[in-house]
Amino acid sequence: MDSVWTNRIAAGAAEMHSSAIRDLLKVTAQPEMISFAGGLPAPELFPVEEIAAAAERALVESPLVTLQYGPTEGFGPLRELLMTWMARLGITVPADQVLVTSGSQQGLDMVGRLLIDPGALVAVEEPTYMGALQAWQTIRPHYLSVPLDDQGLDVDALEALLAAGARPRFLYVVSCFQNPTGVTLAHERRRRLIELASRYTLPIIEDDPYGELYYEGSRTTPLAALDIELHGELRHVVYLGTLSKLLSPGMRVGWIVAPQPLVDRLVMLKQGLDLHTGSMAQVVAYYACRDGLLEQHTPRLRDLYRERRDVMLQALDQTCAGVEGMHWTRPGGGMFLWVRLPAELEAEPLLQQAVAEHVAFVPGRAFHPDGGGGSTMRLNFSHSNPMQIEEGIRRLGGVILASLAL
Amino acid sequence: MDSVWTNRIAAGAAEMHSSAIRDLLKVTAQPEMISFAGGLPAPELFPVEEIAAAAERALVESPLVTLQYGPTEGFGPLRELLMTWMARLGITVPADQVLVTSGSQQGLDMVGRLLIDPGALVAVEEPTYMGALQAWQTIRPHYLSVPLDDQGLDVDALEALLAAGARPRFLYVVSCFQNPTGVTLAHERRRRLIELASRYTLPIIEDDPYGELYYEGSRTTPLAALDIELHGELRHVVYLGTLSKLLSPGMRVGWIVAPQPLVDRLVMLKQGLDLHTGSMAQVVAYYACRDGLLEQHTPRLRDLYRERRDVMLQALDQTCAGVEGMHWTRPGGGMFLWVRLPAELEAEPLLQQAVAEHVAFVPGRAFHPDGGGGSTMRLNFSHSNPMQIEEGIRRLGGVILASLAL
């Protein structure tokens, strides 16, 4: 590095490394690539006309609010709308506990800056969302990894760690259709987890971008709602929501529902980060949603993604069912499934071979804060169409079988 | 604070305090208030029709780019456009050294996280932009304050500090029509500052939101351009730009022009902060600007703000010229002027009295990292119309004269 900047990089920033998602998305931008790597919504379902109409209304009916600086907390009518959207799920809080963020990625950043000191302990699921690890990487926490299974976080294992004296700053959990595994924390475990949070005064960061994308049954009750049910107020849980998976990720509109004692500090933090989330995006989101777009649109997403999930599972069954030691999750919703490869295969070299066959995925190591997960991979099923999914899994299966034959 | 969160607030976040701007904007939202407190553009000049047309084109011609996730670096065509906009000023860099940010406030946050360790020394003008102090407050640097006069930063004073051994991480400077004082760093001082940067390997963060808003003469050459002129490449200067003062702050579109060695790290940092700046805002900004809106619109801003500056200066001359010990800057552009009160007056109690008369300003202490500036204030002249400016200065003058008479 040039001498001007040598020794001037802050300690946290000096150790940063690019995320696997980022490097992969570059490769996967090649047009002939079938990519199961990203976490992108299906663009063919973007509600373009509704958003275009909302943008027009925003600029005709509310041009000054749309173009001027706005409050750090977010656009008032959008906060009210999100409050109502949350109340539907049992997360009943006043609008002043709902803060608009620049996507839920910013929520993760804010939570990290508010609650983590360098070297502090943070409990995460193993594997966990790599974007959270990336948000916090300059703070360099230590991680307490809690295993999960097909019912979500192993609450017994967490309890054992707490009983043994572990005192993390908080537990981070993607509660529905987890990224990367696709598993959902079971209702009974949710109740136990809130009881544990009470008993051990354990804060929980509940990240819930996929909860509306259920393909069977109904919406799972968020941890935040159970916390309110038990205590009469939101006490232990910070809930992160986003419009990215429901309307458009390009709008970068997410939100935090925070316990009252954290609200002022979160607002002060955000003021230093970007003053406020884009007014245009917020006002357009408000106009798009206030006449029921979320309610109309999520069933379309569910129908399309359910089909794609089914096609991917069927293709895996056909291609890989006979491979000894290979397993994959069967998610009830969301955008991802998780593959455990035969122990002798490593996902990273496999990716090189897969890319040569024009199919891509994310190797599992990226989702493990302390290494591990070398024989796992994440597959996205929301972005490719059924023909691409069938063909991509056929190619991927071929690469796996060829590697095993060596 | 509730026991759940007690002792869980990170050390940096525990010491945060709300900014004066924030608290004041609440008071000044009262409709009868004449506010010289904020730093808001004149809403009557927002190019609403042009932005509405750009939004329509974005969603008709490029709906998928507008609504989907985008690259962390920014929307490619917008980066190219900003590269050209920068080259006009002599800041000739390839587009890959131009990164789109969520307003230049995010640029300040990114620079802080990249370059400041807790307790490190950062050189700033005294007074300096309070938003920078706020961006960096959780990192808790020490500040080396360098005085300024009506020619901008006192480069002799800086040189004396460097010669005496001070080694700040960087110097932060608002180079044109500084916030809060309105003064501009003189061309000859700019040359000397770049030479000092070379001699002492001193990085410079050049924040330049107001440079296009000149009301006499022509555009001042940025420090970044002089750095390139001297070294053949951008070596010492990180330049922060924004569309907030030229088109719309509500879009939250700014940019960083960074020396090549910093680019990858800034991108990695931003990925953790918010993945990327809103695609919709970027694509709309691109469509709005590519047919010359910036070139057409800035003369309108200059004409309106020049008149408002003149009205404010004339009103101050009429109301306060006879007040002994009171001085104010006569900025050649930008949005602010800076008032030094008679030494026996403190701006904060004066603000209470002014608010009672329905006129507001920002007390100068907010712009001083280590206290001081108690007898100074910042006045904004871009947001109020000439009648409001005359009336507001009349009231403010009355409050000052009444306080002196006590």
**Angle in degrees, CA A210, A25, B268, rounded to 5:** 90
* Among A1, A13, A203, beta carbon nearest to B114: A13
Contact flag B40-A69 (C-beta cutoff 8 Å): yes
Low-confidence spans in chain B with pLDDT less than 50? 1
- DSSP-derived letter for residue A176 is S
A189-206: average pLDDT: 97
As assigned by CATH, the class of the B11-47+296-405 domain is alpha beta
Q: What's the CA gap between B32 and B54, in Å, rounded?
A: 34
- Is residue A20 predicted with pLDDT exceeding 60? no
Least Cα separation, residue A143 to chain B (angstroms): 16
- DSSP-derived letter for residue A266 is H
Q: Rounded to 5 degrees, what are φ and ψ at A238?
A: -105, 120
- Residue A345, pLDDT score: 96
A179 contact B CB<8A: no
Contact flag A272-B114 (C-beta cutoff 8 Å): no
Q: What's the CA gap between B234 and B172, in Å, rounded?
A: 16
- Is residue A2 predicted with pLDDT exceeding 60? no
Q: Report pLDDT digits (tens) over B313-340.
A: 999 999 999 899 999 999 999 999 999 9
A-chain residue closest to B248, CA distance: A67
Tally C-beta pairs within 8 A across A and B. Answer: 266
Query: Hey, which residues 376-405 in chain A have their CB within 8 Å of chain B?
Result: none
* Among B8, B138, B201, beta carbon nearest to A169: B8
Query: Hey, which residues 14-53 in chain A have their CB within 8 Å of chain B?
Result: 16-19, 22, 38, 40-41, 43, 46, 48, 51-52
- Is residue A18 predicted with pLDDT exceeding 70? no
Cis peptide before B180 (omega within 30 of 0): yes
- Is residue A370 predicted with pLDDT exceeding 70? yes
Q: What's the CA gap between A248 and A356, in Å, rounded?
A: 31
- Residue A3, pLDDT score: 73
DSSP SS3 for A115: helix
- Residue B23, pLDDT score: 66
DSSP SS3 for A324: coil
**What amino acid occupies position A58?**
A
Cα–chain center distance at A318: 29
- Residue A405, pLDDT score: 86
- Residue A260, pLDDT score: 95
B281 contact A CB<8A: yes
The token pair at B331 is 């900025």
B182 contact A CB<8A: no
Q: What secondary structure, in 3-state letters, does chain B show?
A: CCCCCCCCCCHHHHCCCCCHHHHHHHHHCCCCCEECCCCCCCHHHCCHHHHHHHHHHHHHHCHHHHHCCCCCCCCHHHHHHHHHHHHCCCCCCCHHHEEEECHHHHHHHHHHHHHCCCCCEEEEEECCCHHHHHHCCCCCCEEEEEEEECCEECHHHHHHHHHCCCCCCCEEEECCCCCCCCCCCCHHHHHHHHHHHHHCCCCEEEECCCCCCECCCCCCCCHHHHHHHHHCCCCCEEEEEECCCCCCHHHCCEEEECCHHHHHHHHHHHHHHHCCCCHHHHHHHHHHHHCCHHHHHHHHHHHHHHHHHHHHHHHHHHHHCCCCCCEECCCCECCEEEEECCCCCCHHHHHHHHHHCCEECEEHHHHCECECCCCEEEEECCCCCHHHHHHHHHHHHHHHHHHHHC
Least confident of A27-31, A280-284, A307-311, B72-76: A27-31
Report the percent of chain A where pLDDT is more than 70.
98
A166 contact B CB<8A: no
Surface-to-core class of residue A296, CB atoms within 10 Å of its CB (0-12 exposed, 13-18 middle, 19+ buried): exposed
Residue of A51, A111, A207, A280 to mutate, testing the B interface (most B Cβ within 10 Å of its Cβ): A280
Q: What's the CA gap between A143 and A150, in Å, rounded?
A: 22
- Residue A19, pLDDT score: 62
CB B100 within 8 A of CB B78: yes
The superfamily (CATH) of domain A11-47+297-405 is: Aspartate Aminotransferase, domain 1 (3.90.1150.10)
- Residue B1, pLDDT score: 46
Sorting pLDDT into bands at 50, 70 and 90, what band is A4? Answer: confident
Residue of B129, B139, B230, B280 to mutate, testing the A interface (most A Cβ within 10 Å of its Cβ): B280
CA distances from B261 to A4, A311, B182 (A): 9, 45, 32
- Residue B6, pLDDT score: 75
Instruction: Indicate the domain borders of chain A.
Output: 11-47+297-405, 49-294
- Is residue A284 predicted with pLDDT exceeding 80? yes
Q: Report pLDDT digits (tens) over A135-189.
A: 999 999 999 999 999 999 999 999 999 999 999 999 999 999 999 999 999 999 9
CB B109 within 8 A of CB B240: no
Q: What's the CA gap between A381 and B179, in Å, rounded?
A: 50
- DSSP-derived letter for residue A365 is G
Cis peptide before A147 (omega within 30 of 0): no
Contact flag B248-A68 (C-beta cutoff 8 Å): yes
CB B349 within 8 A of CB B377: no
The secondary element (H helix, E strand) that includes residue A276 is none
Q: Report pLDDT digits (tens) over A53-64.
A: 999 999 999 999
Contact flag A278-B105 (C-beta cutoff 8 Å): no
* Cα radius of gyration rounded to whole Å, chain B: 21
- Is residue A404 predicted with pLDDT exceeding 80? yes
Q: Looking at domain B49-294, does it have CATH number 1.10.490.20? A: no
Q: Report pLDDT digits (tens) over A230-266.
A: 999 999 999 999 999 999 999 999 999 999 999 999 9
- Residue A1, pLDDT score: 46
Surface-to-core class of residue B30, CB atoms within 10 Å of its CB (0-12 exposed, 13-18 middle, 19+ buried): exposed
A-chain residue closest to B40, CA distance: A69
CB A215 within 8 A of CB A309: yes
Contact flag B41-A68 (C-beta cutoff 8 Å): yes
Rounded to the nearest integer, the mean pLDDT of chain A is 95
* Predicted interface score ipTM higher than 0.90: yes
- Residue A287, pLDDT score: 98
